[in-house]
A and B are shown apart, each in its own frame.
Chain A
Amino acid sequence: MNVLLTHVDYIAAVAIFLVGLYILLVKQNLLKKILGLNIMETAVFAFIVTAGMTDNGVPPLLGPDAVGPFASPLPHALVLTGIVVAVSITALALALIVRVKRECGSVELNELGKVE
């Protein structure tokens, strides 16, 4: 139980991740699949940001007198990069969905299976 409480951020991140994965696997609508993907991305980013909290850290510029708590800036930079990647994947996916809709006439995968 104690482990569960100290790692509540892990558990929350995994839970949100699984919600996104469920949507992505079960829903047949391509747009909903992209939404599920975005939920998974949010879970991962939230997890990396919470991992940046440091105990007993000392800020490099303000010196030892500054009052905590402090967060490591590195995960923020990581998440910013991650968001850029996620946005570009979403943009590409949406462009592809527009093309699929135009060429196959549907965005529902189960209907697209019949078209083939």
Chain B
Amino acid sequence: MSAAAHGLALVVLVPIVGGALIPALFRRFPTAAWGFALASSALTLAISISLIRRLLAEGPFSYAAGGWPPPYGVALHFDRFGAAIAVFSMITLLVLIFSRRYIPAVVPIARIPLYYALVMINLGGMNGFLVTGDLFNLFVFMEVFSVSAYALVAMARGPQAGLAAIKYLLLGAVSSLLVLFAIGLIFAQTGTLNMADAAGRLDAAASIVPTALALGALTIGFMVKAALFPLHVWLPDAHASAPAPVSALLSAVVVKAGVIGIIRTLQTFSDHGSLQLMPLQSLLIWLGAIAVLWGAVAALVQSDLKRLLAYSTVTNIGYIFIGLGIGSATAASGAAVHIINHAVIKAALFLAAGALIHQSGLRHIDDLRGLGERMPLSALALGVALLAVAGVPPTAGFVGKWQIGLGALETGRPLLMGVVIVGGLLVLTYGVRIINTLFFRPPLHVRVVTSREAPPSMLAAILLLAASSFLLGLAGKPMLDFVAPAILPLTDTG
């Protein structure tokens, strides 16, 4: 078989093996680790693009790891959800480009190879999580990206980072155990670990109690990973105290794994005859609505720029869960598109904010007054991304939110449309406040006056992401059409 046939395994193996090699290869030349990490993430991106081309030509396909056919072996499965690995690889690649000048300033030089290793292993875990068709494999890949995320948060200096990392670890480990417990329950009920197999056999299970318990444990476990209100408490600390590129990765990519876990759970349990998913979906809508408003209000009162952005992630996860909870074709495909668009926007936000904070040495919003004059490009990128995250029409944030609100109206829930609009307006309020502070207020702080524009490697990543968070809004229709077939099994229950 040629390398192309093994693409599905390579997209997981390349980043993990590459990442594991980095500390060994670059112990003596820590700064050279960047090039190697960049090359392996570029290779991962190239493989994922070739996988998407095959997906478009042939439809969803599977790969039997080690040549063992399912249900005996571990099956990897590539569908339209798996296409998200291309976006996640792309974001990781841009984050790595950004890290080139940023990381040596915040991480001790001996630890630089470890940073790049953890980023690559995190990417490999995410890719594995997205393509695996095996429940236990899902757990293992979840732990791969979770543990690397805990360690990445701890990469920053200062007492806050260690504390934030251990809080994140404790909650994350509990959620992983809940997922493992649920996997054990499903295995005990069905005798299989293959997801498609298990979905078919759950219906025939003798007792409904363990099935319901498994559903509950999976939902709560993934809710913690996705930081859905009220289980979001770890997120602001962890995302605000991590180094900027790590915050970008965590907010853009890692929380989305929890969302995708919930989608997979709903799909697995959706054709269960006697177990109704409707109460669960109503719960998701309610929690999502509270998350939108709570996250937006909490962001309004923040004075720390990165903390504000972290609360904005809580808001956007709320939007995605409203869409999934409604479950109609319009809302669910809107939610799926918002997963991707929010990933791009949030990466742009955190990287631009990271550049502003790094170059000026200030992180309070009021101190950043007038920085737009000194760092026009980074500030412009932050402004565009802030408008996008608020969902101002032609930008990427608009597509998903509009579809979710439309879905709410179609299913007769005008109140939810109100939540969607009010949430958007609140986000716009603080977005405009930050833009106003950066561009239209005179500098207060002496460091603002002496700040210089970010170096080209940081600017390139920021501008590309900011441009995409604008342009993806124009590609809304093709994206909705692309995700629609993948989300369909979910809509049948709604």
Residue numbers of A with Cβ under 8 A of B are: 3, 7, 10, 13, 17, 21, 24, 30, 33, 37, 40-41, 43-44, 47-48, 51, 72, 74-75, 78, 81-82, 85, 88-89, 92-93, 96-97, 99-100, 103-104, 112, 115-116
Contact yes or no, A104 B163, CB < 8 A: yes
Please, which residues of chain A bring their CB within 8 A of the CB of B159? 100, 103-104, 115
- In the complex where A51-B187, A88-B147 touch, is A96 in contact with B154 (Cβ < 8 A)? yes
Contact yes or no, A41 B177, CB < 8 A: yes
Contact yes or no, A51 B147, CB < 8 A: no
Does B184 belong to the interface (CB within 8 Å)? yes
Chain B nearest Cβ from A101, distance in angstroms: 9
- In the complex where A47-B181, A88-B147 touch, is A40 in contact with B166 (Cβ < 8 A)? no
Contact yes or no, B181 A96, CB < 8 A: no
CA distance A75 to B186 in the complex (A): 12
CA distance A21 to B193 in the complex (A): 26
Residue on B nearest A88 in the bound complex, by CB: B147
Please, which residues of chain B bring their CB within 8 A of the CB of A21? 174
Contact yes or no, B187 A40, CB < 8 A: no
A37 contact from B136, B174, B191, Cβ within 8 A = B174
CA distance A48 to B207 in the complex (A): 18
Does B170 belong to the interface (CB within 8 Å)? yes
Contact yes or no, A44 B180, CB < 8 A: yes
Chain A nearest Cβ from B301, distance in angstroms: 17
- In the complex where A21-B174, A100-B162, A103-B159 touch, is A92 in contact with B184 (Cβ < 8 A)? no
Please, which residues of chain B bring their CB within 8 A of the CB of A97? 166
Contact yes or no, A112 B150, CB < 8 A: no
Does B151 belong to the interface (CB within 8 Å)? yes
Does B140 belong to the interface (CB within 8 Å)? yes
Does B169 belong to the interface (CB within 8 Å)? yes
Contact yes or no, B184 A89, CB < 8 A: no
Is chain B's binding surface mostly helix, strand, loop or mixed? helix
Interface size grouping (class) on chain B: 20 to 34
Chain B nearest Cβ from A72, distance in angstroms: 8
Contact yes or no, A44 B165, CB < 8 A: no
CA distance A10 to B278 in the complex (A): 26
Give the residues from 156 to 210 in chain B that come closer than 8 angstroms, CB to CB, to chain A. 158-160, 162-163, 165-166, 169-170, 173-174, 176-177, 180-181, 184, 187-188, 191, 193, 207, 209-210
Residue on A nearest B188 in the bound complex, by CB: A51
Does B453 belong to the interface (CB within 8 Å)? no
Q: Which 4 A-B pairs have the closest CB atoms?
A: A51-B188, A103-B159, A48-B184, A99-B162
Residue numbers of B with Cβ under 8 A of A are: 136, 139-140, 143, 147, 150-151, 154, 158-160, 162-163, 165-166, 169-170, 173-174, 176-177, 180-181, 184, 187-188, 191, 193, 207, 209-210
Residue on A nearest B237 in the bound complex, by CB: A116
Please, which residues of chain A bring their CB within 8 A of the CB of B163? 100, 104, 112, 116
A100 contact from B166, B184, B188, Cβ within 8 A = B166
B170 contact from A24, A103, A104, Cβ within 8 A = A24
Is chain A's binding surface mostly helix, strand, loop or mixed? helix
Contact yes or no, A3 B177, CB < 8 A: no
CA distance A92 to B118 in the complex (A): 13
Please, which residues of chain B bring their CB within 8 A of the CB of A116? 160, 163
Please, which residues of chain A bring their CB within 8 A of the CB of B150? 92, 96
Q: Output the residue of B136, B160, B166, B170 with the most chain A CB within 10 A.
A: B166
Please, which residues of chain B bring their CB within 8 A of the CB of A78? 136, 187
Contact yes or no, B181 A99, CB < 8 A: no
Residue on B nearest A79 in the bound complex, by CB: B184
CA distance A115 to B143 in the complex (A): 31
Residue on A nearest B170 in the bound complex, by CB: A33
Residue on B nearest A48 in the bound complex, by CB: B184
CA distance A92 to B172 in the complex (A): 13
Extra A-B contacts (6), CB below 8 Å, given A74-B193, A85-B147, A89-B143: A7-B210, A43-B181, A78-B187, A88-B147, A92-B151, A104-B162
A24 contact from B174, B181, B207, B209, Cβ within 8 A = B174
B162 contact from A10, A51, A103, Cβ within 8 A = A103
B140 contact from A44, A75, A81, A96, Cβ within 8 A = A81
CA distance A7 to B162 in the complex (A): 42
Contact yes or no, B181 A10, CB < 8 A: no
27 contacts between A and B (CB under 8 A): A7-B207, A10-B210, A17-B181, A21-B174, A37-B173, A37-B174, A37-B177, A44-B177, A48-B180, A51-B184, A51-B187, A74-B187, A74-B193, A75-B187, A78-B136, A78-B187, A82-B139, A85-B140, A92-B150, A92-B151, A93-B170, A96-B150, A96-B165, A96-B169, A103-B162, A104-B162, A104-B163
